[in-house]
A = this chain, B = another copy of it.
Amino acid sequence: MAIPHPLGAKFERSLALSDIDRAAVDALPVTLESRRAGEGVLRAGDHPSRSFLILSGLLASSKAAMASGEVQITCFHLPGDMPDLQSLHLAVLDSDIRALTDCQLAFMAHQDLRRLCEQHPRLAGQLWRTTLVDAAIYREWVVNVGQRPAISRIAHVFCELMLRMEAAGLAQDKSCHLGLTQQHLSEATGLSPVHVNRTLQELRARGLISFGQGRLTILNWEALVEMGDFRADYLHLREPEAA
């Protein structure tokens, strides 16, 4: 294969593959698809028979709440993530997954992934681990929307996104392309769009960030971390293979 297998690339970000493992991953069939900004990828209630890896673009998991139709984003998904990997073991999907920007996705059949996991426990463990990191992010989000005031919530989300973008190799100098709207931030933080707008102004006025035109730049990382009550431990970055 001329182009490295996308799943292989994902694995190699965190551990060295044996030749056997690498061959197994390379043999795994992949279907490439793309989605336009705003399009749904999967809906709550679906029974997927395949999962996908994000090659480019920004996605979000969200759930509809109450009758009135509010939406809560529960997680952002960046390139290198597999937003519906859970469906490998949970028959029915409990969240919607939609593209926030145009994006490219690499689909893999559950059947193939299951065989890979059975025959390569090390890879299975690694995939399991990524779902555990997702869970840790959800936990932190419960704290974020449950306990923090508006300005901290937004600061926290920005801190998380920046570190994850860096880990994905998509940020330099605390600046990255990020096609998020204030509406998206509102859905992620549980704040009204109006209050998100005002809070962003406050963050800008304090010289902490610049945000808009599809770009986030953090001007004062330490201050933003402080403002967002942010501790990066829950992202479980650069934990060498737990053994």
Please give the count of copies of this chain that the complex contains.
2
- A139-177 CB mask vs B (1 if < 8 Å, else 0) is 111110111100010000000000000000000000000
Q: Does chain B have a CB within 8 A of A204? A: no
A61 to B136, CA, bound (A): 11
In the complex, which residues 75-134 of chain A have their Cβ closer than 8 Å to any Cβ of chain B? 75, 86, 89-92, 94-95, 114, 117-118, 121, 124-125, 128-129, 131-134
Q: Does chain B have a CB within 8 A of A40? A: no
Q: Does chain B have a CB within 8 A of A32? A: no
Q: Which residues of A are at the interface with B, using a C-beta cutoff of 8 A?
A: 44-45, 61, 63, 65-67, 70, 72, 74-75, 86, 89-92, 94-95, 114, 117-118, 121, 124-125, 128-129, 131-136, 138-143, 145-148, 152, 189-190, 229, 233-234, 236, 239, 242
A86-B132, A90-B129 known; 10 other A-B pairs, CB under 8 Å? A44-B233, A63-B140, A72-B142, A90-B236, A94-B139, A95-B139, A121-B121, A121-B124, A131-B131, A138-B139
